[in-house]
Amino acid sequence: MHEMSLAVAVVDQVETAAKARGVVGVRSIELDVGELAGVVADALAFCFELACAGTVVEGAELITRTVPGTARCAACAEDWAVGMPPRLLCPGCGAAADGLVTGRELQIREVRWADPGAPREEHRQPITEES
Protein backbone atom coordinates (compact mmCIF):
# COMPACT_ATOMS: atom_id res chain seq x y z
CA MET A 1 0.00 0.00 0.00
CA HIS A 2 1.76 3.12 -1.22
CA GLU A 3 -1.11 5.44 -0.31
CA MET A 4 0.72 6.44 2.89
CA SER A 5 3.66 7.73 0.81
CA LEU A 6 1.20 9.62 -1.39
CA ALA A 7 -0.64 11.09 1.60
CA VAL A 8 2.66 12.29 3.07
CA ALA A 9 3.59 13.83 -0.30
CA VAL A 10 0.25 15.70 -0.44
CA VAL A 11 0.61 16.99 3.13
CA ASP A 12 4.24 18.06 2.51
CA GLN A 13 3.33 20.03 -0.59
CA VAL A 14 0.35 21.75 0.98
CA GLU A 15 2.34 22.50 4.15
CA THR A 16 5.10 24.10 2.07
CA ALA A 17 2.56 26.20 0.17
CA ALA A 18 0.83 27.16 3.45
CA LYS A 19 4.09 28.27 5.10
CA ALA A 20 5.04 30.34 2.06
CA ARG A 21 1.73 32.18 2.37
CA GLY A 22 1.70 32.44 6.15
CA VAL A 23 -1.56 30.51 6.33
CA VAL A 24 -2.82 29.23 9.70
CA GLY A 25 -4.96 26.33 8.55
CA VAL A 26 -6.36 24.38 5.62
CA ARG A 27 -10.07 23.83 4.98
CA SER A 28 -9.92 21.43 2.07
CA ILE A 29 -7.66 19.84 -0.51
CA GLU A 30 -9.02 18.71 -3.85
CA LEU A 31 -7.19 15.89 -5.63
CA ASP A 32 -7.54 14.63 -9.17
CA VAL A 33 -6.92 10.87 -9.24
CA GLY A 34 -6.90 9.12 -12.61
CA GLU A 35 -8.50 5.70 -12.98
CA LEU A 36 -5.11 4.37 -14.09
CA ALA A 37 -3.03 6.07 -11.40
CA GLY A 38 -3.16 2.90 -9.29
CA VAL A 39 -4.51 4.68 -6.22
CA VAL A 40 -7.27 3.46 -3.89
CA ALA A 41 -9.19 6.58 -2.83
CA ASP A 42 -10.42 5.08 0.48
CA ALA A 43 -6.93 3.99 1.46
CA LEU A 44 -5.62 7.44 0.58
CA ALA A 45 -8.31 9.11 2.71
CA PHE A 46 -7.44 6.87 5.66
CA CYS A 47 -3.72 7.60 5.33
CA PHE A 48 -4.36 11.31 4.88
CA GLU A 49 -5.91 11.51 8.36
CA LEU A 50 -2.73 10.02 9.82
CA ALA A 51 -0.32 12.00 7.65
CA CYS A 52 -1.77 15.42 8.50
CA ALA A 53 -1.85 14.94 12.28
CA GLY A 54 0.16 17.67 13.99
CA THR A 55 0.64 19.71 10.81
CA VAL A 56 -1.04 22.87 9.58
CA VAL A 57 -3.12 20.58 7.35
CA GLU A 58 -4.75 18.77 10.31
CA GLY A 59 -8.53 18.87 10.11
CA ALA A 60 -8.63 19.59 6.38
CA GLU A 61 -11.15 17.78 4.22
CA LEU A 62 -9.71 15.65 1.41
CA ILE A 63 -11.89 15.74 -1.70
CA THR A 64 -10.92 13.14 -4.31
CA ARG A 65 -12.14 13.47 -7.89
CA THR A 66 -11.80 10.35 -10.03
CA VAL A 67 -10.76 11.08 -13.61
CA PRO A 68 -11.86 8.41 -16.10
CA GLY A 69 -9.33 7.07 -18.59
CA THR A 70 -9.69 8.21 -22.20
CA ALA A 71 -7.42 7.49 -25.15
CA ARG A 72 -7.08 8.97 -28.62
CA CYS A 73 -6.57 7.61 -32.12
CA ALA A 74 -5.22 10.38 -34.35
CA ALA A 75 -6.01 8.57 -37.62
CA CYS A 76 -9.70 8.08 -36.72
CA ALA A 77 -9.82 11.43 -34.87
CA GLU A 78 -11.57 9.57 -32.09
CA ASP A 79 -11.40 9.61 -28.29
CA TRP A 80 -12.85 6.75 -26.27
CA ALA A 81 -13.36 5.77 -22.65
CA VAL A 82 -10.80 3.01 -22.11
CA GLY A 83 -12.70 1.31 -19.29
CA MET A 84 -11.18 -1.03 -16.71
CA PRO A 85 -9.17 -3.03 -17.59
CA PRO A 86 -8.21 -0.39 -20.13
CA ARG A 87 -8.50 -1.03 -23.86
CA LEU A 88 -5.74 0.96 -25.56
CA LEU A 89 -6.46 -0.31 -29.09
CA CYS A 90 -8.70 1.94 -31.20
CA PRO A 91 -12.27 0.56 -31.34
CA GLY A 92 -12.52 1.96 -34.89
CA CYS A 93 -9.38 0.72 -36.67
CA GLY A 94 -7.77 -1.58 -34.09
CA ALA A 95 -4.46 0.32 -34.10
CA ALA A 96 -2.62 1.33 -30.94
CA ALA A 97 -3.88 4.52 -29.31
CA ASP A 98 -1.66 7.53 -29.87
CA GLY A 99 -1.78 8.31 -26.20
CA LEU A 100 -3.79 8.50 -23.06
CA VAL A 101 -5.70 11.79 -22.89
CA THR A 102 -6.77 11.40 -19.27
CA GLY A 103 -6.57 8.74 -16.59
CA ARG A 104 -3.11 8.91 -15.02
CA GLU A 105 -3.59 12.14 -13.06
CA LEU A 106 -2.36 12.29 -9.50
CA GLN A 107 -2.56 15.95 -8.89
CA ILE A 108 -3.39 18.48 -6.19
CA ARG A 109 -5.94 20.61 -7.96
CA GLU A 110 -7.07 23.15 -5.41
CA VAL A 111 -6.48 24.05 -1.79
CA ARG A 112 -8.78 26.17 0.35
CA TRP A 113 -7.13 27.90 3.27
CA ALA A 114 -8.91 28.41 6.58
CA ASP A 115 -10.02 31.91 7.47
CA PRO A 116 -7.33 33.37 9.75
CA GLY A 117 -10.03 34.89 12.01
CA ALA A 118 -11.76 31.59 12.62
CA PRO A 119 -10.59 29.56 15.60
CA ARG A 120 -9.77 26.12 14.18
CA GLU A 121 -11.29 24.12 17.00
CA GLU A 122 -14.75 25.57 16.37
CA HIS A 123 -14.89 24.22 12.80
CA ARG A 124 -16.63 27.33 11.54
CA GLN A 125 -17.21 27.52 7.83
CA PRO A 126 -16.19 31.00 6.72
CA ILE A 127 -17.35 32.23 3.36
CA THR A 128 -14.43 31.83 0.96
CA GLU A 129 -13.39 34.61 -1.29
CA GLU A 130 -11.59 33.60 -4.45
CA SER A 131 -8.56 35.74 -5.11
Q: List contacts with another protein (CB under 8 A).
A: 1-2, 5-6, 9-10, 12-14, 17, 21, 31, 36-39, 71-72, 74, 84-89, 95-101, 104, 106-113, 115-116, 128-131
**Hey, which residues does 70 pair with through a beta bridge?**
81, 102
CA distance 91 to 96: 10
Q: How far is the CB of 129 from another protein (least distance, A)?
A: 5
- Greatest alpha-carbon pair distance for the chain in Å reads 60
The nearer residue to another protein, 19 or 107, going by C-beta atoms, is 107
Per-position DSSP letters for 33-89, written without gaps between them: EETTS---HHHHHHHHHHHTTTSTTTTPEEEEEEE--EEEETTTTEEEE-TTTT--B
Nearer to another protein (CB atom), residue 17 or residue 81: 17
122 vs 131 by CB, closer to another protein: 131
- Using the minimum distance from each CB to another protein, give the nearer residue, 42 or 130: 130
Report, in Å, the least distance between residue 49 CB and another protein: 17
Compute the least distance from the CB of residue 74 to another protein, in Å: 7
CA-to-CA dists, residue 6 to 32, 44, 88, angstroms: 13, 7, 27
Instruction: State the minimum distance, in angstroms, from the CB of residue 100 to another protein.
Output: 5
